[in-house]
Structure 1
Amino acid sequence: METSPIERQTLRILFLASEPTNAGKLRLGNELQEVRNRLSTNSFFELKDRQAVKPDDVLQTILNYKPHIVHFAGHGQETGEICFEDEKGNSKVIPPDALASLFKLVNEYVKCVLINACYSEIQAKAISQFVPIVIGTKKEISDSAAIKFSTGFYTALDPDLSQKSLLKAFDSGCISIRFENLPEHLTPIIIEGLPEVRFSSEVDTAFLSIARPQGKVFDALIKGLSLTGKRMGVSDDIVLKILGEKITKMKLHSEGIEEYEKYLKDILRDEYPLSETSQLALLQLQNGLELTNEDVTGIKDKILSNKDNLTTAEKWYDRGNGQRTIGNIDKAIEYFSLAIEKDSDYSAAYYERGDCYDMKGNFDLAISDFTKAIEYNNKWEVLSNLRSAYFSRARAYHAIKTDDKDKRNELLNLSLADWNKTLELKSDQPEGFYGRGLVYIDLNKLTEAIDDFKKSYDLAPKDERKQSYILALSRCYYMLGQNDESSNWMKLYKGSKELSIDAFED
């Protein structure tokens, strides 16, 4: 079973600062700098800050960043409200229950809230309904003590996000205040959430180390978590319910990762770089699978990091075929051209690009590419080979229209030579005889055309394909004036509507 150590998870910390102009001056910049200094030595911490926070900013910032720890620095009132800023920079308070309800929406990832403001105990207790660890203050706290608490807290914090680590960090913060001989080391207070909230958080933390919910190691983990839940005072029913929900969610998440990765690889087989349409489709897929931006970034980093592997001649060739399949011929030509740039003697790429030019009616370019494919005769793919190149070039020569009789005869003879080579390489292909028969008609060699059409008829595996050969035979006999023989062949025709040889008069 794949595992990844818990300590390798990036612990995201969101520092929210609010200092209304009509409130006392605080040294919030100093506090932020101290926090940044303590975290900068450990690459498993990621810090984001937001200044002059307004009430509307809080939820949006948390939803966007998805932090594990939310740190608020600013003013608090004796009645428990936290002071944010309004549009003019003045103080605007939010009732404790209102701010607490916000964390009900984000407790899937927020595991600790630190309110480094005066009189924040009431607010901390309200939030603890939804978050496992909340830190506040019992009363007023000085700027110096608040900064020292933050310094000590982040000095001791481990990136494993465990409740044990958070409790240790809290004790370290209080000790840092004491080391400065400040009398406020008992002012900070730590409040543990409801048992089921703390247990749910413990499960989340433990699951960070498991890639898939299966195997003996996972069984041992579940047993340990069940015992932990009981020790926390959570009933057996609630333990089973929480574990069941988390396991189901983990399975769905794992399947979602695999599903997204599969679709991304499939799309990259058809195009690179990703078009705007594909990016929108992948965004819709991400939302449908309930994957985070972090999930998707990890998948894309893994797949897109090796750009050399994404831009090989073979990959461009595959994308060309993918685009042609969906009818995007110009894009297919672009990709086949990139394949040729990477590998100048890639016969299959020349052949497929030539086929695209043929589909657009640009027969001169098609013939040029078919000729290069034949000359190099190297690196063919499943859908192409030397015979198919002669076959396609024969059709392209025949398809060119010109009023110059000499030029027309030259093209017909070039086509005839390629049909001969095609049949030399594979003598049992009805389409080869049929194509050569059509050239014989234009060269006024009707007897030879009849011989080829009869071979096509005899070799054709499906009755519906024989209908084209029947019409060709009937037409040739009609052109020779052998109306009875023409009629006999026409009687075999089983098309969508009944025909007679009179149709050839048109």
Structure 2
Amino acid sequence: MPLTRLELRARITRLLRSDADLDSFAGDFFPEASGRFTDGMDRVRKTNILLDYADPEVLAKQLRLLERSPKAAAKPAEDGPIKLLYLASNPTSMDQLDLTREARRIADRLRGGKPRRVNEIEIVPRWAVRRSELQRLLLEEDPHVLHFSGHGSGRARLLFEDDGGNIAPLEAKSFVSLIGILKHRLQLVVLNACDTEPLAGALVRHVACAVGMRRAIGDEAAATFAETFYEALSFGEPIGAAFRLALIALEISPIREEQTPVLRFKRGVDADKRKLKR
């Protein structure tokens, strides 16, 4: 059965990890596509051009050959940083959250103290995320950590946007199924949104650990939790210890929302020993 465009995109992301790899591959096998690449063009655009101009059957064949080659097999999985895909969704009809500030605070905390950091964590923010593009983003980015900031509902749904910025709910069953198929390198999911504890519990059928919220959480508490949690992970703390450090940060702050976040983990996983890995 021929590979779909989404499946081809996923293989390109997995096998051609650097811009140099993508440029070289396109130049060697698909010069028509490569000739349309320009200096400074981002990776997503290059991938789209390759998918548009390459014969799908030939592209699939070359990717399979690359996958079987000794060079591809020998490529260490630990190359590159740990990728944190930060999804922000803020439908216009809902209370507006300060998600830009949260993402900036996380990024700032991941910059300092580099000589002592065990893990380089790269935050990849995506704004005004629509329900319809979630699958594509997971395929393109293949993250180690998935972070959702926005609104949840009492029925364990995440509230994404549609093309007009209106509410587009994603049912828990659909989200869990999507993660089950596209988990690949995914080790941790953080749902920085109200009433997401049940969803976190369902997700650990597929990923090692997930964080959800028992109830509504304020902007300041959400940002404080996230920046402390990811900073601790970047210094090599296990997920369980990083979670407790983030709770302490809430406990000693004026907001006192330390009872809101909850950590769930897969059966057989010891969160006090489990660390992020590339």
| TM norm structure 2 | 0.65
1:74 to 1:109, Cα distance in 2 relative to 1, 3 A? same
1:33 to 1:143, Cα distance in 2 relative to 1, 3 A? same
Cα distance in 2 for partners of 1:111, 1:5 equals 14
C-alpha contact (below 8 Å) 2:214/2:262 kept by paired residues: yes
Q: Which residue of 1 aligns with 2:250?
A: 177
* Displacement of 1:66: 0.9
Question: Aligned with 2:264: secondary structure?
Answer: strand
User: Paired residue for 1:78, among 150, 154, 172?
Assistant: 154
Cα distance in 2 for partners of 1:87, 1:93 equals 13
User: Paired residue for 2:83, among 5, 8, 12?
Assistant: 12
Q: Which residue of 1 aligns with 2:239?
A: 166
Q: Which residue of 1 aligns with 2:106?
A: 35
* Displacement of 1:159: 6.4
After TM superposition, list the pairs within 5 Å mapping 1:84-123 onto structure 2.
84-123=160-199
2:260 maps to amino acid: T
Q: Which residue of 1 aligns with 2:138?
A: 62
* Displacement of 1:53: 0.6
Bigger fraction of residues in strand: 2
**Are residues 1:188 and 2:264 paired?**
no
Write the deviation string for residues 171-226 of structure 1: whole angstroms up to 9, x where unpaired: 1211111121323101100000133xx49xx99977x6xxxxxxxxxxxxxxxxxx
Larger Rg: 1
* Displacement of 1:167: 1.4
* Displacement of 1:50: 0.5
Question: Aligned with 2:234: secondary structure?
Answer: coil
Question: Aligned with 2:151: secondary structure?
Answer: coil
Cα distance in 1 for partners of 2:179, 2:160 equals 16
Cα distance in 2 for partners of 1:134, 1:65 equals 19
Question: Aligned with 1:12: secondary structure?
Answer: strand
For structure 1, list consecutive stretches of 5 or more residues without a partner in the other structure.
209-506
* Displacement of 1:40: 2.1
Cα distance in 2 for partners of 1:172, 1:151 equals 11
2:156 maps to amino acid: G
After TM superposition, list the pairs within 5 Å mapping 1:10-409 onto structure 2.
10-41=81-112, 42=114, 44-158=120-234, 165-195=238-268, 198=269
2:101 maps to amino acid: N
Q: Once superposed, which parts of structure 1, at least 4 consecutive aligned residues long, lie more than 3 Å away? A: 202-206
C-alpha contact (below 8 Å) 1:17/1:28 kept by paired residues: yes
1:150 to 1:129, Cα distance in 2 relative to 1, 3 A? same
C-alpha contact (below 8 Å) 1:96/1:123 kept by paired residues: yes
Write the deviation string for residues 436-484 of structure 1: whole angstroms up to 9, x where unpaired: xxxxxxxxxxxxxxxxxxxxxxxxxxxxxxxxxxxxxxxxxxxxxxxxx
Write the deviation string for residues 254-305 of structure 1: whole angstroms up to 9, x where unpaired: xxxxxxxxxxxxxxxxxxxxxxxxxxxxxxxxxxxxxxxxxxxxxxxxxxxx
Task: Please tell me the root mean square deviation across aligned C-alpha atoms, in Å.
Answer: 2.7
C-alpha contact (below 8 Å) 1:75/1:118 kept by paired residues: yes
Question: Aligned with 1:157: secondary structure?
Answer: helix
Question: Aligned with 1:191: secondary structure?
Answer: strand
Q: Greater relative contact order: 1 or 2 (C-alpha under 8 angstroms, separation 6 or more)?
A: 2
Cα distance in 2 for partners of 1:180, 1:192 equals 27
Q: How high is the sequence identity, in percent, across the aligned residues?
A: 27
Question: Aligned with 2:146: secondary structure?
Answer: strand
Q: Which residue of 2 aligns with 1:466?
A: none
Cα distance in 2 for partners of 1:121, 1:5 equals 31
| TM norm structure 1 | 0.37
Question: Aligned with 2:238: secondary structure?
Answer: helix
Cα distance in 2 for partners of 1:37, 1:117 equals 21
Cα distance in 2 for partners of 1:86, 1:108 equals 27
For structure 2, list consecutive stretches of 5 or more residues without a partner in the other structure.
1-73
C-alpha contact (below 8 Å) 2:240/2:274 kept by paired residues: no
Question: Aligned with 1:177: secondary structure?
Answer: helix
Cα distance in 2 for partners of 1:179, 1:112 equals 25
Write the deviation string for residues 42-72 of structure 1: whole angstroms up to 9, x where unpaired: 4822111100011121111111111100010
C-alpha contact (below 8 Å) 1:10/1:159 kept by paired residues: no
How many residues were matched structurally?
198
Cα distance in 1 for partners of 2:82, 2:235 equals 6
Cα distance in 2 for partners of 1:51, 1:155 equals 22
Cα distance in 2 for partners of 1:5, 1:165 equals 20
Write the deviation string for residues 150-180 of structure 1: whole angstroms up to 9, x where unpaired: 12112211366xxx62112211211111121
Question: Aligned with 1:30: secondary structure?
Answer: helix
